Amino acid sequence: MPATGDAAPDFTAPLANGDIEEFTLSDRLEDEAPIVLAFFPGAFTSVCTSEMCAFQDRLAGFNDLDASVYGVSRDSPFTLNEFRAQNDLEFGLISDYNKEITDDYGIEMDFDDLGVYGVAKRSVFVIDGDGEITYSWVSDDPGVEPDYDEVEAAVEELA
């Protein structure tokens, strides 16, 4: 699992932003950093919806800091576009449908009792323009949301 000070694993994946387009992290760093990657286990679940809506509620603050926010989950890009629409999310959601990003970031978890395997742990990474992780938070408890003030403070340090 990459930690603060490590290079963020690069990836290319579908981006659900109303349409579906290709997203490559390294291609976005120059114009969009700092980048906040907020991984969540699954669209349309209560805690994940609460988390993504909390990022939406704070989006103006991140925009004021010239930061970009992206949610990331194992859901398909089609599901993520519907999730965005139903929750009025203005930021893009990255589909890790093939589980490559979750593997590279070492944040996979299973819900054995539900028969659900390989979803992303709820986690947040802030990545600077050089591709370095400047903040990381990973929870083993999917019911715990990140400290949004802490995430915003980490971004503010890069402004």
Which residues are identified as catalytic?
48
Encoding tokens for residue 61? Answer: 């603050």
Question: Rounded CA gap, 131 and 40, in Å?
Answer: 21
Cα–Cα distance measured from residue 92 to residue 80, given in angstroms and rounded to the nearest whole number:
9
77: Cβ contacts below 8 Å, ≥ 6 apart: 14, 15, 16, 20, 93, 95, 97
The secondary structure element, H or E, covering residue 31 is: helix 25-32
Those residues whose C-beta lies under 8 Å from the C-beta of residue 32, and which sit 6 or more positions away, are 67, 68
